[in-house]
Structure 1
């Protein structure tokens, strides 16, 4: 027994003299996967190589898709950037977190809106409970990112210094990736959460000439050429980020999530005469951004987790409100009771099957009418069940009627079938009212 005690003492001395305890702690921490959210800004759901576009080149996102679970029928609940981004960071619909538009009513202090981000649980703060370091770069509307729990950021959010929707953070991607690399390096053995939401391919459409020249040709309208080049540029920055994870040997223990904040269909003038009269040359077409149509709402949603998620494609209807509960589950945390999204890891495990009957969303005014009462700004609610999508105008839109589309046969929503299928419209309205009847909660 004495000999055993002596041996144990020797082991403990050696243990204490080396860095074994630190390594064990580091290994325990590393069991929590890193999380990288890549969020495109103003890009249509089909503007990718892997989604079938025949001109736009997205080799890096195509590669990510080949390594991911890809939900080709992903959606954001609303087609405007600020409220859409808040669905991702909170796992709540806009009518729940009260951020329904980009700006408050004219004359209202923008700082008053920040009470809403303070009043809800946000991913960075929740992950911080497990020791995650978090970094914000790119688009961000909710003041200083520390309010949501980010431990560091590029954005300052001070309106006196130009803070509105990202300020200094909007340089990421367009002016290089060094801040991201620096953050990753500084994390050491700590798990990290990276919010990469570059101002791309958003206007201004000013791509590098080396990329633009790939798309300039007599057959393609110049507006499309510039937009295509912007998507290509965004894809290039995604490749730089993913390559850096590989270089630092971090990819195996990193969950990468991809989504876009809202769609964009590039408007093309019908003539040179119209082009000369336009005040804004690069603008979005109807049925895209800010609309209740798939051109503004649909997005591929990808989840990559090497060794844990088998690459596959799914036609399952999913939503950006599913991202927060999915990521929380991945690190061993429970979603809040207010979160209505589902765990995509379970959907993947079940081969794409889910008990969810339908997905829903809502469109509001760009400028909120009442910052505390979502129903005052409501324009549309929408619902998708299977291949059928219904759009229900709110009381603000006098004279508009419900619309109904068969997305399997009519993916670009050109043929309204509401008059031909009144019972289905009624049934989808019942589902939508059960989700949210337009009244404040």
Structure 2
């Protein structure tokens, strides 16, 4: 009798040892894949589905038609590195401490990586559920394995030219083969794909077959090149999405679309000015690196066939919301530090949310003190409803707050702060409740 009991115990232990992993694998295989498509330097209205009359974006238009489209999406900051870091961590720059593209002049860039080690990143969290993850395109935070990516194009070694993506910057511009190979290697395992190509970012050197569509006497040549770059980027998105279709993966894949920051192409006022310019293709004021919508606003798209009903929403949302949304979709909880909301719940509620306002922050390109975000702060901003307020930081103490009615003035041409001082104070109170920065 005792021998039978012992044999039964051994059988149960052995069965448990083999059955548990099989259950985990079966559970992992049922989880959705995650594909993040991140545009680099593109204005919020430079898409067909956002109303642009000249730029052709047929692939992203199709994606939008199949997605929940948040037309009033924002990134907290209008510079690529800190913006990308908010997406991978779900934290504001002043929380994850990556506030600018570069450390102070003369400082070893590797010192910034301590801040990456100190926070939870999406690939690390997804790895717990058996996800494979792949980085390609823009990436500033050293070797992507530091954030939990299981494979990558970027090496991140500054001795070999690693700064903001190195070899990863070839994706899209030189084909999509590495992405296809990663998808194939995953087989039945769930995957997380970070597709952040160096597009439509400068250099503006689109293929001639695309450029010739936009070259005409009525369009400034700078705009023609930029428009062609946007279409080139759209073409690569189509190649990626078509591959998911070919591999019959689309139905079990969540596709997230967002832009890291805006870009308004600067056009010289005269031929004389054009000849004097050192950089022909550069951004205009009130776009990249600014606190204005030209640098901050972006459409945010979520596609999950059968789970997310295609629709358009005017709800204010932020790229801070992407990490909590992705984590909820795979059955994980966001960290306590994450302040974003779950966009899947917003969709279920018909676009309604209890959140009153969204916030953001603009910092210097080069950080002043890598451990103190306030030292680099230029502006904080807040949007509630149709009103947007911009508050200068301690570094810009001579500047005054600005206020814009985005419904009536979407390109922020008319500062209404003097006409609505009480509203400015109300929005400042909310902004201080979000992140209180003492005046200098």
Query: Shorter-chain-normalised TM-score: which range?
Result: over 0.9
Secondary structure of 2:302's partner?
A: strand
Secondary structure of 1:410's partner?
A: coil
Task: Give 1:31 shift.
Answer: 1.5
Aligned residue in 2 for 1:257: 256
Task: Give 1:305 shift.
Answer: 0.3
What pairs up with 1:343-422 in 2 under 5 angstroms?
343-422=342-421
* Cα distance per residue 1:248-283 (max 9 Å; x no partner): 000000000000000000000000000000000000
Write the distance in 1 (CA, Å) between the matches of 2:362 and 2:109.
21
Aligned residue in 2 for 1:49: 48
Q: Which runs of 4+ in 1 moved over 2 A?
A: 20-30
Task: Give 1:21 shift.
Answer: 12
Secondary structure of 2:306's partner?
A: coil
Task: Give 1:132 shift.
Answer: 0.1
Task: Give 1:157 shift.
Answer: 0.2
Aligned residue in 1 for 2:156: 157
* Cα distance per residue 1:212-248 (max 9 Å; x no partner): 0000000000000000000000000000000000000
* Cα distance per residue 1:88-118 (max 9 Å; x no partner): 0000000000000000000100000000000
Write the distance in 2 (CA, Å) between the matches of 1:210 and 1:115.
45
Matched positions, count:
422
User: Does the 8 Å CA contact 1:26/1:189 hold for their aligned counterparts?
Assistant: no
Secondary structure of 1:366's partner?
A: coil
Matched, 1:88 2:87: yes
Aligned residue in 1 for 2:111: 112
Write the distance in 1 (CA, Å) between the matches of 2:25 and 2:268.
58
Write the distance in 2 (CA, Å) between the matches of 1:337 and 1:288.
32
Aligned residue in 2 for 1:128: 127
Aligned residue in 1 for 2:328: 329
User: Does the 8 Å CA contact 2:110/2:142 hold for their aligned counterparts?
Assistant: yes
Aligned residue in 2 for 1:341: 340
Write the distance in 1 (CA, Å) between the matches of 2:43 and 2:119.
29
What pairs up with 1:1-40 in 2 under 5 angstroms?
27-40=26-39
Task: Give 1:30 shift.
Answer: 2.3
Aligned residue in 2 for 1:431: 430
Matched, 1:292 2:294: no
* Cα distance per residue 1:104-146 (max 9 Å; x no partner): 0001000000000000000000000000000000000000000
* Cα distance per residue 1:191-221 (max 9 Å; x no partner): 0000000000000000000000000000000
Task: Give 1:26 shift.
Answer: 5.8
Aligned Cα RMSD in Å?
1.5
Aligned residue in 1 for 2:178: 179
Aligned residue in 2 for 1:277: 276
* Cα distance per residue 1:64-97 (max 9 Å; x no partner): 0000000000000000000000000000000000
Write the distance in 1 (CA, Å) between the matches of 2:331 and 2:20.
24
Write the distance in 2 (CA, Å) between the matches of 1:151 and 1:22.
20
Write the distance in 2 (CA, Å) between the matches of 1:26 and 1:92.
30
* Cα distance per residue 1:8-55 (max 9 Å; x no partner): xxxxxxxx9xxx999987653221100000000000000000000000
Aligned residue in 2 for 1:190: 189
Write the distance in 2 (CA, Å) between the matches of 1:325 and 1:31.
20
What pairs up with 1:208-287 in 2 under 5 angstroms?
208-287=207-286
Aligned residue in 1 for 2:3: none
Write the distance in 2 (CA, Å) between the matches of 1:28 and 1:357.
37
User: Does the 8 Å CA contact 1:211/1:229 hold for their aligned counterparts?
Assistant: yes
Write the distance in 1 (CA, Å) between the matches of 2:297 and 2:282.
19
Aligned residue in 1 for 2:99: 100
Write the distance in 2 (CA, Å) between the matches of 1:354 and 1:337.
19
Write the distance in 1 (CA, Å) between the matches of 2:260 and 2:23.
39
Task: Give 1:398 shift.
Answer: 3.2
Query: TM-score, normalised to structure 1's length?
Result: 0.94
Secondary structure of 1:307's partner?
A: coil
Secondary structure of 2:60's partner?
A: helix
Secondary structure of 2:413's partner?
A: coil
Write the distance in 2 (CA, Å) between the matches of 1:121 and 1:22.
25
Write the distance in 2 (CA, Å) between the matches of 1:317 and 1:277.
41
User: Does the 8 Å CA contact 2:28/2:131 hold for their aligned counterparts?
Assistant: no
Aligned residue in 2 for 1:9: none
